């Protein structure tokens, strides 16, 4: 399964969903992105990972605001047990023509999220649990699967999440949002960890993704 698959079709006390929005399914066809009450409760709980469904919902809100070269593949439901996700590859010859593409990444074995971005033909990788300049093997394999071997990937030096915070999903969304909405490059941003969860909840309820709160400097 993915890092935190969430509650599936059941909501609070088994009753429905918290929020829903039109989207695409894992085959790239019209579908619906939904988040359950259990997803919301996990999102609002410190030290609990954020679910795939929350990440997919936020990304759907983002692409309603910013057209991308290709919609990101949703994570929820894409993964089989004990397998890493397989994202559609991007031919290296196409990279130069891509203005903007973002894709959350899920490392199932590590229970971790990061993201990759193509902006104006350049490939980036952002990871809030990557203190060195080298991603772990699970993420490297996924980057190779998307871009092939030999493509130069800029590993951005981004804010690292606090120990035991389980905020990698929130940071993934923060990085994607900065790229999509034309904010600062993530390596130049510092986010307010204590506000991230409630900010995401509020945006989902309002069905509008906005910048995740930064620390004032």
Please check whether residue 178 is in contact with residue 186, taking contact to mean a CB–CB distance below 8 angstroms: yes
Q: Specify the pLDDT at position 82.
A: 47
| Closest of 117, 216, 118, 132 to residue 174, by C-alpha | 117
For the chain of 217 residues, list the mean pLDDT of each consecutive stretch of 10.
49 65 71 91 96 95 93 75 73 93 91 95 96 86 92 95 96 97 90 96 96 76
Identify whether 3 is part of a domain.
no
Identify whether 41 is part of a domain.
yes
Identify whether 196 is part of a domain.
yes
Q: Specify the pLDDT at position 31.
A: 76
Identify whether 2 is part of a domain.
no
| Closest of 68, 76, 74, 66 to residue 6, by C-alpha | 76
**What six digits make up the tokens of 41?**
């409760």
Identify whether 7 is part of a domain.
no
Name the residue range of residue 121's domain: 12-206
Identify whether 130 is part of a domain.
yes
Contacts of 216 (CB under 8 A, 6+ apart): none
| Rg (the chain; Cα; Å) | 16
CATH number, residue 43:
3.40.395
Identify whether 160 is part of a domain.
yes
Number of domains in the chain: 1
Identify whether 104 is part of a domain.
yes
**What six digits make up the tokens of 148?**
């092939």
To the question of pTM greater than 0.85 for the whole model, the response is yes
């Amino acid at each position: 399964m993915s890092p935190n698959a969430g509650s599936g079709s059941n909501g609070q006390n088994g009753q429905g969903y918290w929020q829903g929005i039109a989207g695409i399914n894992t085959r790239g066809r019209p579908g619906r992105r939904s988040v359950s009450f259990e997803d919301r409760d996990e999102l609002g709980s410190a030290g609990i990972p954020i679910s795939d469904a929350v990440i997919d919902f936020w990304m759907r809100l983002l692409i309603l605001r910013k057209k991308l070269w290709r919609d990101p593949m949703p994570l929820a439901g894409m993964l089989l047990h004990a397998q890493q996700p397989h994202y559609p590859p991007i031919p290296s010859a196409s990279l130069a023509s891509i203005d903007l593409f973002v894709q959350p990444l899920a490392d199932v074995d590590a229970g971790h999220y990061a993201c990759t971005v193509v902006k104006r033909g350049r490939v980036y990788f952002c990871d809030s649990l990557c203190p060195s300049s080298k991603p772990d093997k699970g993420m490297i394999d996924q980057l190779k699967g998307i871009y092939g071997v030999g493509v130069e990937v800029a590993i951005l030096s981004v804010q690292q999440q606090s120990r035991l915070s389980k905020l990698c999903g929130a940071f993934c969304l923060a990085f994607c949002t900065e790229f999509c909405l034309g904010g600062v490059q993530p390596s130049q941003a510092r986010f307010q960890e204590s506000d991230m969860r409630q900010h995401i909840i509020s945006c989902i309820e309002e069905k509008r993704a906005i910048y995740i709160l930064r620390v004032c400097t």
